[in-house]
Amino acid sequence: MGLFTNESLKGHHALVTGATGGIGYETALLLTSMGASITITGRRKERLKQLEKQILEQNPEAVVLSISADISIEEDRDSLISKAEKEIGDVDLLVNSAGSLGGDIVEELPQAELEQIMHINYTVPILLSQQVFKKMKRNKRGAIVNVSSLSGLRGTFGGTAYCGSKFALIGFTQAFALEAIEHDVRVNAVCPGYVETDMGQNAIRSKAKRENRSFEEQYELANKGLPSGRITKPEEVANTIAFLLTDAASNIVGESVKISGGAVMR
């Protein structure tokens, strides 16, 4: 069987958080094209409806459940999992794609912002994984992919909060992978650099402001500074996530796969 056929993930139920963001959106489209039933969630209701419509236009027979939720809130997480399991069945593929950018240099970093970024980028993926892992463990099948970042592999100026959260997410990925694989559940992470998404452009915009450049100048530098000559497309991150969810990656455990255009090699 080919890797990305319309039956590669048939019989699986995937939950994609942050589905209204660029990476989550493209991941949801790809997983459904590979045969997975899917639950998509995010906070932007109109964007979520747009994604659901696009999935069904792509495949009228797709099984898709759209749930608007703020997964930083315990009640919303509980309701999300309950509805997903009731409507489609046990979740056996989880993509923790929801995330938050932000932060400042240490001297200027408010405690509330630090705690919010750590909560969304680190604590919430753990808590969601806890919930779906119960059924994965019982069924002895499943795969989880956490969306980390190159900022989880090396520090950046002003990145104490964001880098800290993404480093922590990789630590969780590795530790949980050792526990989960005992029950035939694989846990991995992807680590993209700049991606052609709203969040990626905001990161470039912030750096441009700090270095007193226009967005256009900083964007050009970001592209030219990579060995590949360009920043990553969200579809390319989605392809890597999808691969890690398939049986083709059955012996890939606890890895942090870089998608960097050659920016980081180690």
Residue 120: per-residue pLDDT: 97
Catalytic residue among 122, 162, 194, 219: 162
3-state helix, strand, coil in the chain (%, to 5): 50, 15, 35
For the chain, give me the number of helices (H) and strands (E)? Answer: 9, 7
pLDDT for the residue numbered 2: 60
Q: Determine whether 162 is an active site residue.
A: yes
More confident residue, 246 or 102: 246
Q: What is the mean pLDDT of residues 149-171?
A: 96
124 pLDDT higher than 60: yes
Q: Which helix (H) or strand (E) holds 166?
A: helix 160-180
Cα separation, 251 vs 188, in Å, equals 11
Residue 234, Cβ density class (10 Å: 0-12 exposed, 13-18 middle, ≥19 buried): buried
Alpha carbon 129 to chain centroid distance? 13
147 beta partners: 190
The fold for domain 13-193+232-259 equals Rossmann fold (3.40.50)
pTM: 0.95
User: What is the pLDDT averaged over residues 93-106?
Assistant: 94
Average pLDDT of the segment spanning 147-156: 95
- pLDDT of 170 reads 98
Backbone φ/ψ region at 225: left (φ over 0), alpha (ψ -120 to 50), beta:
alpha
Confidence band (pLDDT; 50, 70, 90) for 247?
very high
Q: Which residue has better confidence, 3 or 191?
A: 191
Q: Output Rg (C-alpha) for the chain, integer angstroms.
A: 18
Query: pLDDT, tens digit, for every residue of 219-246?
Result: 999 999 999 999 999 999 999 999 999 9
CA 128/CA 124 separation, integer angstroms: 6
Q: What is the dihedral of CA 90, 79, 21, 50, to 10 degrees?
A: 90
Q: Is there a contact between 166 and 152 (Cβ–Cβ < 8 Å)?
A: yes
| pLDDT exceeds 50 at position 1 | no
pLDDT at 266: 77
Quick: pLDDT tens for 14-61.
999 999 999 999 999 999 999 999 999 999 999 999 999 999 999 999
| Average pLDDT along the chain | 95
Reported in sequence order, the residue ranges of 108-193 that DSSP labels E, i.e. its strands, are 142-147, 185-192
pLDDT computed for residue 4 by the predictor = 84
